[in-house]
Structure 1
């Protein structure tokens, strides 16, 4: 069959592979209480296990960020899927901290490979009549997969046996199908005669910093919230709100990612200059609601905060990234974009480790309140910088 006729199928196949890979990265979220019971982990150890994921993501972004332009999309995506499948295998036989750390690093490597390469591949393989929806498909696959991971694991643990086995076996099956989809997809890159594999540089040119700093601060705040829900939602819901249903925990942990997708779509209806400030304001309201939910031990406030903060994060992230890319010189966009993503993934990991350390000293509830207050201060800082940046200069 000609490639032109295969393209709709391969387009959806690569999007499915993107979704399946990202789904696997958040699969352990509602299972953390079970691991704590089985291995006697503290909350600090759980946050360290989660943070290992970000180490893998950042390593993949820096090392393989530009490889697909040299080697082609298919081999890089197949490598990412292979890392995801090894991660599943490690979790299936996990017998303690070392195996879980290794599994999370491998999961992060798969996510780091797919974040950039799969986004480009989905857009390149979109048929002409779907081109304008390609970015939406990539966003939905990315965030939708991240949101579905906790839900799928929660469903398995609620209604099926062996909750520490079955989710990973299911994901292995999905990853196998994704392998077939990538294998059948046409290559969109012509390899150069001389392949040069280089590390991705990180830098922000001086002329871009005024735009980069508020966008990066807002991105840090938003991704901190995503990391908070992915790593510590089970602890806060279980210990403070007395919720032990792993399906409910999985759904709440996935809500910010679904809401982020909605926010990224909704921002297109907002005038360009208002997008990032609006995202910050909505994110601020969501963080305040999360803090109220923790302080009052209210699941309602906590869930509302997850949704509102997710929408704000989606708007702020997409608007901030767009402004940073637009302000960057064409020859340096890759390194500036990579710098922005590194800030985002540091935000996913570092604050949750801080939560684990602080909770040992002052308790989980007070730690959650302090986290919400600090993220709110970051968002306010971004708003102040945006206001100064966009204030008209008098002649």
Structure 2
């Protein structure tokens, strides 16, 4: 975070003491938690839709990827739009959109088109939350003199991802109305957190109409061409949800027939372990990361190499213990990659394109959710030739190549203000 961005944030706050006392960033974090809950509550239920509702593995994995179709446009448009109009008017509808997505998924359990569209809405809500909510939290945190905005945003998302998956899996495995109850719980969370955000003050006033450029010009993100973003952040970003999707989508699917008769519960447990591990490492990730080198990214990629090797082992032996160990390590890799990527982004971005560059970063991270569908297609096209252990081993090699690439550029193209960032 640069001194200019802090000054810009402080210039928009009427009083510093009020925000220090109330910690209003927590209310925005709750909104991000809610949309993340909606984005990931579907994941442990993939097994249910495949086994009990007759959808093929590729179709189910396409549902998983469907919300990326909503996420990416929402990220790329709403981030810059909030730089133009302010954070509040763009972020406040996010929880309502998330609730609408859950309602559609709940009523469309046997209809592919309805499930797909519901997932897209969940993605739109999550995209808004990630791009706009993260920037809002960063600016609210800066008002209190804190530089923990990236960590707070990352942990809010990860907590929502983990608890959404865990609760949905438990309710679907043992609760009544397995295709409905989890989504109704989420709707209630959205209502509460959406109302809570209404009281949060604006941190970036709207640009006066006379001073506004064309929207298409606002959608341009100059800092996306920064060499450090291209050479350090871009090689790291797809691994964020690439690792996560292996941990709580691909491995649980492989374990469905080796789950002791509780495939949905095991899927939920793997999700919670992966994301819980990611949450835990994010709490210390800011201490590992440094503005003088790409240490955070390198630690993340190191963990990911180990995680992919463990995933190959788990896919070979198909035991619950192996699957849980692999999920935990991959979750650590996910969490470290997310928080270190956000730290790099917040150093690189100027005050006028923070939300926009955050949106570009998150868009790249979500390319990782194409992994399950791609792997399903490959293994079905060449059964017995392309196997999951071989694919995960190849993934470990690719992660190692990314590590070597980032290592050679670790201290290159540092932002001018990097030395001022704690």
Fold-level match, TM-score > 0.5? yes
CA distance in 2, matches of 1:50, 1:34: 13
Higher alpha-carbon deviation: 217-226 or 267-276? 267-276
Q: CA RMSD in A?
A: 3.0
Instruction: Check the 8 A contact 1:202/1:338 in 2, yes or no.
Output: no
Higher alpha-carbon deviation: 149-158 or 247-256? 247-256
Q: Which residue of 1 aligns with 2:415?
A: none
Higher alpha-carbon deviation: 336-345 or 109-118? 336-345
Higher alpha-carbon deviation: 125-134 or 272-281? 125-134
Would the alpha carbon gap of residues 229 and 82 (structure 1) be closer, same or farther in structure 2, given more than 3 Å must change?
same
Instruction: Name the SS of the counterpart of 1:184 in structure 2.
Output: coil
| Cα deviation code 1:288-321 (max 9, x no counterpart) | 1111011111221221121122212322333344
Would the alpha carbon gap of residues 45 and 267 (structure 1) be closer, same or farther in structure 2, given more than 3 Å must change?
same
Instruction: Check the 8 A contact 1:237/1:243 in 2, yes or no.
Output: no
Instruction: Check the 8 A contact 1:15/1:138 in 2, yes or no.
Output: yes
CA distance in 2, matches of 1:222, 1:132: 22
- Deviation, 1:118, is 1.0
After TM superposition, list the pairs within 5 Å mapping 1:353-368 onto structure 2: 353-363=373-383, 367-368=387-388
Would the alpha carbon gap of residues 328 and 85 (structure 1) be closer, same or farther in structure 2, given more than 3 Å must change?
closer
**Aligned match for 2:114, one of 99, 115, 121:** 99
- Deviation, 1:128, is 5.8
Q: Which residue of 2 aligns with 1:307?
A: 328
- Deviation, 1:10, is 3.6
After TM superposition, list the pairs within 5 Å mapping 1:18-97 onto structure 2: 18-94=32-108, 95-97=110-112
Q: Which residue of 1 aligns with 2:26?
A: 12
- Deviation, 1:239, is 3.2
Provide the TM-score with structure 2 as the length reference.
0.82
Q: Which residue of 1 aligns with 2:192?
A: 177
Would the alpha carbon gap of residues 128 and 338 (structure 1) be closer, same or farther in structure 2, given more than 3 Å must change?
closer
- Deviation, 1:137, is 2.7
CA distance in 1, matches of 2:275, 2:371: 18
CA distance in 2, matches of 1:82, 1:233: 32
CA distance in 1, matches of 2:141, 2:411: 40
CA distance in 1, matches of 2:142, 2:353: 29
Note the residue ranges of structure 2 that are not aligned, 5 or more in a row. 1-13, 413-422
Instruction: Check the 8 A contact 2:131/2:359 in 1, yes or no.
Output: no
CA distance in 2, matches of 1:268, 1:53: 29
After TM superposition, list the pairs within 5 Å mapping 1:104-115 onto structure 2: 104-115=119-130
CA distance in 2, matches of 1:226, 1:167: 21
CA distance in 2, matches of 1:22, 1:317: 14
CA distance in 2, matches of 1:118, 1:78: 9
Note the residue ranges of structure 1 that are not aligned, 5 or more in a row. none
- Deviation, 1:71, is 2.4
| Cα deviation code 1:104-124 (max 9, x no counterpart) | 100000000000211122233
CA distance in 2, matches of 1:134, 1:327: 15
- Deviation, 1:35, is 1.9
1:168 aligns with 2:168: no
Counting matched residue pairs gives: 389
Instruction: Check the 8 A contact 2:135/2:355 in 1, yes or no.
Output: no
Higher alpha-carbon deviation: 259-268 or 39-48? 259-268
| Cα deviation code 1:183-224 (max 9, x no counterpart) | 222233322221554463367766606x62343223223321
Instruction: Check the 8 A contact 1:158/1:247 in 2, yes or no.
Output: yes
CA distance in 1, matches of 2:171, 2:224: 48
Instruction: Check the 8 A contact 1:154/1:250 in 2, yes or no.
Output: yes
Q: Which residue of 2 aligns with 1:294?
A: 315
Q: Which residue of 1 aligns with 2:236?
A: 218
Instruction: Name the SS of the counterpart of 2:237 in structure 1.
Output: helix
CA distance in 2, matches of 1:205, 1:17: 27
Higher alpha-carbon deviation: 353-362 or 325-334? 325-334
Instruction: Check the 8 A contact 1:18/1:114 in 2, yes or no.
Output: yes
CA distance in 2, matches of 1:41, 1:223: 23
Higher alpha-carbon deviation: 243-252 or 105-114? 243-252
**Aligned match for 1:374, one of 377, 382, 394:** 394
Relative to its length, the structure with more helix (as a share) is 1
Would the alpha carbon gap of residues 367 and 101 (structure 1) be closer, same or farther in structure 2, given more than 3 Å must change?
farther
